[in-house]
A and B are shown apart, each in its own frame.
Chain A
Amino acid sequence: MRKELKGLVIFFGLIFLFPLLVKSPYYIGVLVFWGIYSIITLGLTILMGYAGQISLGQAGFFAVGAYTSGILTTRFGLPPWLGILAGLGLSLLLSLFLALPSLKLKGHYLAMATLGFGEIVHVVLNAWVGVTGGPSGFGEIPALSFLGWKLDSEMSFFYFTWGWVFLFFLFSLSLLKSPYGRALRSLHAEERIPLSLGVNVYFYKVFAFLWAAFYASFAGSLYAHFMTFLSPSSFTLILSILLVLMIVVGGLGNLWGALLGAGILTFLPEILRTFEDFEMLIYGTFLILVMIFLPKGLVSLRRGKVATGD
């Protein structure tokens, strides 16, 4: 654990120093997105990498967090913190309703159920025009304030977001180090094995699902108050797939992998933009190469010294 804390301090130290070196609001904005996606992938890697379940519906929970907080603060004048909490509550409730029946499914069937959830959310966002603004969305979502500090610049939001990434990383790390985390990690094996040790497999699957939904919802609320504008096109199946891709590219079942994957797949499109027509070609080739040569993700480049002892 001490080694991991050292890694954490160095990594987050570098991240927090970044805006002092690069003052471009554009790059700081991209870093904010990296932070927001990292929160989702830190949750998703617990579900997929440790508990061995799959979700193709994380964009749905991301949307629920974003819209709940956005709508409550914009239309009903609620303070943003209450909006975020309401989003979290609603996401947990929805994920529980989704998890209880569908976690009895396995593999592809679970993937389909979660995919269906993401699509339902997307349809609701488009169709429920009176509340969500429909396909054209809605704006003027108020900025967050933190301890009297109004987070209306890229720079302030950057520190705020990455502060949360740090905390969420610590939450996940301490979960994985606890007896509950060990039980969660046993879910990867054939079900009868954790069962034979008295691990309540079903409970842990539901728990991991709620955990991932919680992270995604929180990230969604941050997104809403950062962008101050929401429309359904930001919450499609493509995003859900991208999130899965992030943790796979980074390294499944590794917290560092979740951060790294989110970072690379956030920055890569920005960098590749200069290649215009070849953008997708290079992007695709990169993914294929990673899968062929580093099937355990980019973290496997640095073997042995990764979070949680994996």
Chain B
Amino acid sequence: MLLEVKNLTAYRDSIPIVRSVSFHVNEGESVAILGANGAGKTTLIESIIGIISEKTGEVRFKGKDITRLNSEEIVKRGISLVPQGREIFSTLSVKDNLLLGAYTRFGRESMASIKETLEEVYGLFPILKEREKQLAGTLSGGEQQMLAIGRALMAKPTLLLLDEPSLGLAPQIRAKIFSSLEELHKKGITLLLVEQNTFYALRITERAYVMETGRLVMEGKSEEIAKDPEVIRAYLGREYREKWER
């Protein structure tokens, strides 16, 4: 088991948002956490990576307890986050944004190995190489999302957390982002994807959990969840079946 979360309760301003959540992610897997806006998905993911420290329960990564570690330590151990809303540094160049992603590796690894990762990211998203010197704020929405994913990859994660990577993107670009995630998964990176876009999320993941008002209410193989009448009614809508079969 790569990531194991046990009875995690996480708070924002002392209000419990995530309530006693337990789940796990195996090495090499890709897992989705689905749920409507306000279900607590972002809080869950931010408490895993240590941005939210007000929490009880246990988070274990590679068998070690990381519940009380700060985000710097957690990133060093191999978890990276692509935050919601992209949140790239608009006044820095594309390259500086990417190098910031490797922040925890400076001083511990050689510049050559960081540059190697940079080339890998450019290989995955060639447009970023073209725009290397441009200010990140001048990129389009889709390119910014690629940059946010590339930035997270710069830390060389074993587990990549993605918070709503498809939010606010045009359908074509969304498809492109999801196909690059599939590519990453094939390369061996474990993915934990938090999404409102249930359709895509279920297509590219192996297992999924459904979250409602801070609790996980359903779990199963993505394929099976996609057939669950309750999920269809609540998250996918009527026309989805045709779309799915296509």
Q: Measuring CB to CB, which residues of chain A are less than 8 angstroms from any residue of chain B? A: 179, 182-183, 185-186, 188-190, 192-200, 253, 309-310
Taking CB atoms, residues of chain B closer than 8 Å to A182 are 92, 96, 99-100, 103
Q: Say how far B133's CB is from chain A's closest CB, in angstroms.
A: 8
CB pair B93 A309 closer than 8 Å = yes
Residue of B50, B89, B151 near A195 (CB, 8 A) is: B50
Residue of B70, B72, B87, B106 near A190 (CB, 8 A) is: B87
Residue of B72, B83, B103, B104 near A192 (CB, 8 A) is: B83
Nearest residue in B to A202 (C-beta to C-beta)?
Answer: B70
Of the 9-residue stretches B73-81, B118-126, B194-202, which lies at the interface with chain A?
Answer: B73-81
Bound CA span A140–B132, Å: 57
CB pair A199 B83 closer than 8 Å = no
Q: Say how far A181's CB is from chain B's closest CB, in angstroms.
A: 10
Taking CB atoms, residues of chain A closer than 8 Å to B72 are 198-200
Bound CA span A192–B81, Å: 11
Q: Say how far B53's CB is from chain A's closest CB, in angstroms.
A: 10
CB pair B51 A186 closer than 8 Å = no
> Does B210 belong to the interface (CB within 8 Å)?
no
Residue of B92, B96, B155 near A197 (CB, 8 A) is: B155
Given contacts A182-B103, A309-B93, A309-B96, contact A197 B75 (CB under 8 A): yes
Q: Say how far B104's CB is from chain A's closest CB, in angstroms.
A: 4
Residue of A183, A189, A194, A200 near B70 (CB, 8 A) is: A200
Query: Please, how many residues of chain B have a CB less than 8 angstroms from a CB on the other chain?
Result: 30
CB pair B100 A186 closer than 8 Å = yes
Pick 13 A–B contacts, CB within 8 A, sort by A.
A179-B106, A182-B99, A182-B100, A186-B100, A188-B89, A190-B87, A192-B46, A195-B50, A196-B51, A196-B83, A197-B100, A198-B71, A199-B72
Q: Bits for B83-118, please: 1 = Cβ < 8 Å to A, else 0.
A: 100010101110010011101101100000000000
> Does B49 belong to the interface (CB within 8 Å)?
yes
Bound CA span A219–B80, Å: 42
- Leading 5 A-B pairs by shortest Cβ distance: A198-B75, A198-B104, A179-B106, A196-B81, A198-B72
Taking CB atoms, residues of chain A closer than 8 Å to B104 are 197-198
Bound CA span A253–B92, Å: 12
Q: Say how far B6's CB is from chain A's closest CB, in angstroms.
A: 23
Given contacts A196-B71, A199-B72, contact A179 B87 (CB under 8 A): no
Extra pairs beyond A182-B96, A196-B81 (12, CB < 8 Å): A182-B99, A185-B92, A186-B92, A188-B89, A192-B51, A192-B83, A195-B50, A196-B46, A197-B75, A197-B104, A198-B104, A309-B92
| Among A183, A196, A253, residue most surrounded by chain B Cβ atoms (within 10 Å) | A196
Taking CB atoms, residues of chain B closer than 8 Å to A185 are 89, 91-92, 96
Bound CA span A198–B74, Å: 7
CB pair B101 A197 closer than 8 Å = yes
Bound CA span A195–B51, Å: 6
Taking CB atoms, residues of chain A closer than 8 Å to B101 are 197
Bound CA span A182–B96, Å: 7
CB pair B87 A195 closer than 8 Å = no
CB pair B103 A199 closer than 8 Å = yes
CB pair B103 A179 closer than 8 Å = yes
CB pair A183 B51 closer than 8 Å = no
Q: Say how far A187's CB is from chain B's closest CB, in angstroms.
A: 10
